[in-house]
Structure 1
Amino acid sequence: MMEEADGKGRAASESEQVSLKDKGNEFFKAGNYLKAAALYTQAIKQDPSNPTLYSNRAAAFLHLVKLTKALADAETTITLNPNWEKGYFRKGCVLEAMERYDDSLVAFRIALEHNPQSSEVSRKIKKLTQLARDKKRVQEVENKRSNVDMAKHLETLKSELSEKYGDAEHWKSMFSFTVETIETAIKSWHETSKVDARVYFLLDKEKTQTDKYAPVVNIDKAFESPHTHKSCFTFLRDYAEESFSKAACLVAPKSIISYPQVWKGQGSRKWKHGQSDGFFVQFESPSLQKLWFVPSSTEKGQLLCRDPEVLDIGVHELLPRIFKQKLPNP
């Protein structure tokens, strides 16, 4: 009697389990993933070694964006049937949703080994390969945007400053000032898509009347006409001398350079940087002038400043020499 009762009980249990799975599938097809997952859970309690139930519930959890649970069910599916493509496919889909594209690719490739004819898996692999490549590039762009290090690009300036100025403390302060000015401009460009046209002065801590002379002067109107350009230059030359500045950095966006005479009529002919947007940095000191263009491009939807390009200041000079020339210190 006990055996017969047990047999009838097992048969009833199997019938109920199949019914629960089928009902779960119906709810899944109807888009009711929460109800489907609940029914698959009931079915699993009655038949905990059935990989299909875990695979189905993983799919429901994926639609519900319960990714940790979905991944656990995909792993259980694989454990229960290591040779079944579906477990690896489910795992790949969940890892894709987690944006773990490299791990997702591994799962889909194992799925393809178990079913080489699966066009669905092949499409996933193609898509994920591109997504992984894109994600890597996005990360590279973000790293470049957040880890701006100009010092390594200005080694020539460092050499020239050390050669021109014997006092190490003096030229190192100029170098640090220039690096900081360019890095600040790049960060502004990355965050706001622009830089303001300004001249930054390295003031003399001992001589400058800081209540009278600020370290920054706006020059947004300087390039509108020959008159404003000349007035700006005259003002800046007086400012540099009266404030006892040691050096200056002019920062100006390319878009503001609408007065072509600043390039002595040669700019467009000798310009080698195409239509690239970006900004200029002109370094000024009593013994040295330098000019760079920092090009900008859009990479993966993000603005990215590329490495500064040295320009011929004789051709692309933005302003004439601000400082009256002095002999360098011995």
Structure 2
Amino acid sequence: MALDELRSKGNEAFKAKKYADAIHFYTKAIELSPQAEAAAALYSNRAACWQNTGKAANALKDAESCITLRPSWIKGHYRKGAALESMQRYDEALKAFQQAAKMEPENEEIADKLQQLVLILRERNEKSTPESCRTAEEAKNIGNSLFSAGNFERAMLFYSRAIALSQEGNVEQANYYANRAACHQQTRNYHLVINDCDKALEIDPTHVKALLRRAIAYEGLESWSKALNDYNQVNRAFPGMAAVSQGVLRCQRALRG
């Protein structure tokens, strides 16, 4: 069968809610390796079939394939958000729908999804305790959500839980230390920022966020030479960052007196 015929049969089966048949036809069409735009639509359609048969993990995989082929097409991001929501991965679902909303700000369906997810996350954040988190990823996600809401003190508790649940010396653990440092930065507790950044950098000496946050903390303590050293390290790794260049200039001015 030709591509157009396979796609047409897939669409007919989908409309008739014969999702297994639709998946069969869309899969055969994908195997013909069509151009990116056509393939993206097929992956999107098959993702919708998986979603309707309760196979959200497969839907997510197809949605991501769709996004890879057509990053600026809203449907891939919508399908991804729907799959993640079904998997109760609400933080990631929110990001996917936010990406879709950037493409179509007036889309009411996406706006409704965003509103629903914000309410779900707000309720989860209010009810959750660090001790209730069973994985570092879960604790981190709640910490991130609380941080975004400006609840830095509570976010710290969840990042601490993520650190406790993570493998010692793992790169992800360095990220959790850097995240907690960001909370301390917001509350201007610069000594604790430095402590957490030091721990992150012991695990990953090139951790840019930890270097940058430690530089800002050293500035806050007027330790200009140490701040300059960290800014210079970041500058060597990622030249041209405006915040870093400005930090270098501030430190140089302070050191000149």
Radius of gyration: which is bigger?
A: 1
TM-score by length of 1: 0.37
Specify which structure has the higher proportion of helix: 2
Specify which structure has the higher proportion of strand: 1
Q: Which has the higher contact order (CA 8 A, sep 6+)?
A: 1
